[in-house]
Structure 1
Amino acid sequence: MTGLLLVTPVAVATSATQQGVQAATATSAPQVDASAAIAIDPQSGQVLYEKNADQVLPIASMTKMITAYIVLDQIKQGKLKWEQTTKPDAAIYKLSQDKELTNVPLQADKAYSVRELYQAMLIASANDAAMMLANLVAGSQKNFVDLMRQKVSQWGIKDAKLYSVSGLNNQYLTGETYPGSAADAENEMSASEVAIVAQHLLKTFPEVLETTKQTAFTFGPKTIDETKMATWNLMLPGQNNAPKDYVVDGLKTGTTDKAGDCFTGTATKDGQRILTVVMHANGSDKGRRFIETNKVMQYVFDNWQQTQLVKKGATIKPFATADVKYGRTKTVALETPQAIAMWVPKGTQVANVDWDYQVVQGGQKRQLTAPVKKAAVIGKVTPKIAGVTNRYLGTTPQYTVQTKTADPKANVFVLIGTGVREFFTNLF
């Protein structure tokens, strides 16, 4: 999907499932001065705003979110430890001395911990730190890029062009370029795909925000190389472009000549979190990527709200019960074991919700055969509200419908009686 998406709710026709929606009118979407942008709910992937979101563009250091995911996954699996150390190879040491690039100061013969390299990569966007982590995990830059390609493919991302672990253009990676890639090759993805990467990072490793919310840190503390490093995210509290109405605590900036100024941001207000991506922000202001991001975030927080459709443990009206054959009861109650929520424009009175239902067992009519266990999954549902965007990134969320209680098989005399009744019913 390209172009600008703007959702303006309309009245909803009566549904055969669960009551309707009273319309609300959203303010016109902002004019975002950037090549592409998107805003989503990071939990469900529901799209709340988009502009040219499927156009493939250079992503620069936003690449490091993929690198961070793989590093965190290696630590989770026990294959990597925070205090494990590694030294830079000759190529990385040489690159670290390039003052044109974002790096941390390295010594050729010094070992650095995974923790300090990880912090340097995410807070100060250090390219050399990302490359050292890649070598430690995979043995080479090429092998780590292969891991990156495999990971994004698992997430359903098809258009990614990945050549480096840092997001740098190949012209800066002498001796470290991906085999067969062009001399000026650079990582590329769409805003939608970058959002999917960030979504997976936040959902799988929410602790990443403990690092990305930091405005500064000290690299090589209590050594002759001790260096104070500052964040590039100027939307964090206390920074030049920090918003007053909500709190930003991540996620990753990106800048190259091709990519321009990019930013993947995440923010909360009143307990609700959103995720945004802005690519190649325009304008003369040095904070242009944050100015354009603020337009998107402010629009979403001003005009949208997350509304609970079904409480945890509650019944969805169209799927309240299932019939039970040969059970002690004729029906068993159903419930959803999780709360179900959806973003809707503010002022929308949720009354009518349609549900897409996917059968797991029992067929469309939900006919079970005893014995039936408690919490047996009967089906999966996805809410749909007319006039509200039903576009999701990645996999459309599905919520479980399960049995609320068990229903053991009836005793033999009841079963005999049931069989006799069925015989004569079928006979006549």
Structure 2
Amino acid sequence: MRHKLKVLLLIITAVFITVTSSLVNPIKASANTFDVDAEAAILVDEGTGKILFAKNADELLPIASMTKMMTEYLVLEAIDNGEISWDTTTEISDYAYQVSANISSSGIGLIQDKQYTVRQLYEAMAINSDNATTISLAELISGSESEFVRLMNQKAEEMGLPAYEFVNSTGLNNADLVGNHPDGTAADADTLLSAKSTAMLAYNLINDYPESLEFSSQLTSELDGVAYENWNWMLPWEDNNYTQFHVEGVDGLKTGYTSNAGNCFTGTAKRDERRLISVVMNTESRQERFQQTEKLLEYGFGQFESKELYPAGYQLEDKSILNVAKGKEDTVEIESSEAITEVVKSGDEEAYTVQYHIDENLLNDEGELIAPIEKGQTIGTMELVYNGDNTYEYIGENEQIKSVDLITTSAVEKLNWFMLTLGAIGDFFGGIYNTVVDTVTGWF
């Protein structure tokens, strides 16, 4: 009986410890089972391109008005190239006007036979996700939406997006375009991207054109005397029903909804010097897309931090001294040229090590550096190595292997010709001496 009570006490104690530790740090306790309620999702550290979380991130799915991020990019590129300016004006075509008047698609309502500036159209597109103003910008840049779609897919290829199919400038289903869907696309086609491609598009937009965030963070604007609001409820709203969805640091980026795509959102937030990019696709409701985005952002900011793992001047023990040939010094020390900083998950710091890679072209057959050697001369690289249990990928052209240069800490002059000659003579006679000794030893 006493043995059974002792076992029961041990079980109760173990359960108590497990439960209380989870209560003390519930995020850490569930870190390995983190998930979001969306068909696909991704979370990326913008500074490094490191993917911190991914769910079904490679599958092509409809992205609705998140498509407009590519239209924004191409408009800003055209401005940057001097093809148009913010003050360039254009009228509204019959096609854009028909879309504007269609109650089923979001829109402010445009006036024909009126000149609108690029700034007016861009604001309505970026802030209110207006479809007609988006089409008008596409037609201004390319002459037709069909030609603009060709540019969209061309730019996607240039960006290296892994999975994409742009069929119009807005993200509407082609069936909603009043019979004017772009040439070469199906009458009921959707623009399709993967969550990873969507994050890469956002990454390129805010890195190449950071002014895009000035528009995406704007709460309201107006056109033709009609006030309109930003669909992003995570911005710092005051005194309305959206306040409950605000998350610190959010300043963009693009919402989306169609019956095929469901509720989608590409979000971005910056805290201190770190910026994260998130994508959720096909959530159950408008509210849910922001709630799941909040979950992603808090996970990224709470569970990961940017850390200097190895400082500049770091020397790997027992490997930071190299032999030198033909120099006034026999050895030279080496060190890292700069610090290695990485976005690290909490508790994963010890999983990172470094290794040296010396440039073999600088070594002789004996593995020695050859004098003369300059101070600060690059002789190889120091590479960061991750030995943990997680698997991390990176978006775009960001380096998955982090490395810095290895440099010499001092100069080594080359021996003059006289000393080199003496050394050569010594090597010659030393070789003869060794040969004689070996031969005589062999006799006996």
Q: Same fold (TM over 0.5)?
A: yes
Which residue of 2 is the match for residue 20 of structure 1? Answer: none
Q: What is the letter of the counterpart of residue 234 of structure 1?
A: W
Mean CA deviation greater in 58-67 or 147-156: 147-156
In structure 2, list runs of 5 or more residues that go unmatched: 1-27, 432-444
- Contact 2:363-2:369 at 8 Å conserved across structures: yes
Q: Which protein shows a greater Rg?
A: 2
Which residue of 2 is the match for residue 45 of structure 1? Answer: 49
Count of matched residue pairs: 395
**Greater relative contact order (CA < 8 Å, ≥ 6 in sequence):** 1
Which residue of 2 is the match for residue 386 of structure 1? Answer: 388
Q: Are 1:139 and 2:143 matched, yes or no?
A: yes
- Cα distance, 1:186 vs structure 2: 0.7
Which residue of 1 is the match for residue 266 of structure 2? Answer: 264
Q: What is the letter of the counterpart of residue 129 of structure 1?
A: T
Q: Are 1:231 and 2:230 matched, yes or no?
A: yes
| Structure 2 CA distance for aligned equivalents of residues 202 and 162 of structure 1 | 20
| Structure 2 CA distance for aligned equivalents of residues 135 and 360 of structure 1 | 56
| Structure 2 CA distance for aligned equivalents of residues 25 and 78 of structure 1 | 53
Q: Are 1:353 and 2:345 matched, yes or no?
A: no
* TM-score, scaled relative to structure 1: 0.79
In structure 1, list runs of 5 or more residues that go unmatched: 1-23, 220-224
Mean CA deviation greater in 228-237 or 170-179: 170-179
- Cα distance, 1:423 vs structure 2: 7.8
| Structure 2 CA distance for aligned equivalents of residues 363 and 215 of structure 1 | 61
| Structure 2 CA distance for aligned equivalents of residues 363 and 127 of structure 1 | 63
Residue-by-residue CA offset, 1:302-361 (whole Å, 9 max, x unaligned)? 3222222245x5446489688877788764755445x53322222444474245969697
- Cα distance, 1:82 vs structure 2: 1.7
SS at match of 2:139: helix
- Cα distance, 1:218 vs structure 2: 1.9
| Structure 2 CA distance for aligned equivalents of residues 351 and 415 of structure 1 | 50
- Contact 1:344-1:388 at 8 Å conserved across structures: no
Q: What is the letter of the counterpart of residue 60 of structure 1?
A: A
Which residue of 2 is the match for residue 297 of structure 1? Answer: 297
**TM alignment of 1:76-91, pairs within 5 A:** 76-91=80-95
User: Residues 121 and 382 of structure 1: is their aligned pair in 2 closer, same or farther, counting only changes over 3 Å?
Assistant: farther
- Contact 2:305-2:344 at 8 Å conserved across structures: yes
* TM-score, scaled relative to structure 2: 0.76
SS at match of 1:341: strand
- Cα distance, 1:99 vs structure 2: 2.1
Identify the match of residue 56 of structure 1 among 53, 60, 75: 60
Q: What is the letter of the counterpart of residue 156 of structure 2?
A: V
- Cα distance, 1:420 vs structure 2: 6.3
| Structure 1 CA distance for aligned equivalents of residues 288 and 385 of structure 2 | 37
User: Residues 276 and 419 of structure 1: is their aligned pair in 2 closer, same or farther, counting only changes over 3 Å?
Assistant: farther
Residue-by-residue CA offset, 1:65-84 (whole Å, 9 max, x unaligned)? 11112222222233332222
User: Over the residues paired in the alignment, what is the CA RMSD in angstroms?
Assistant: 3.5
Identify the match of residue 251 of structure 2 among 249, 252, 263: 249
Mean CA deviation greater in 208-217 or 394-403: 394-403
Q: What is the letter of the counterpart of residue 401 of structure 1?
A: V
- Contact 1:89-1:108 at 8 Å conserved across structures: yes
SS at match of 2:164: coil
- Cα distance, 1:234 vs structure 2: 0.7
Q: Are 1:200 and 2:204 matched, yes or no?
A: yes
User: Residues 294 and 325 of structure 1: is their aligned pair in 2 closer, same or farther, counting only changes over 3 Å?
Assistant: same
Q: Are 1:344 and 2:347 matched, yes or no?
A: no
Q: Are 1:67 and 2:71 matched, yes or no?
A: yes
Mean CA deviation greater in 325-334 or 380-389: 325-334
Larger helix share, 1 or 2: 2
| Structure 2 CA distance for aligned equivalents of residues 187 and 90 of structure 1 | 23
SS at match of 2:165: coil
User: Residues 95 and 245 of structure 1: is their aligned pair in 2 closer, same or farther, counting only changes over 3 Å?
Assistant: closer
Which residue of 1 is the match for residue 309 of structure 2? Answer: 309
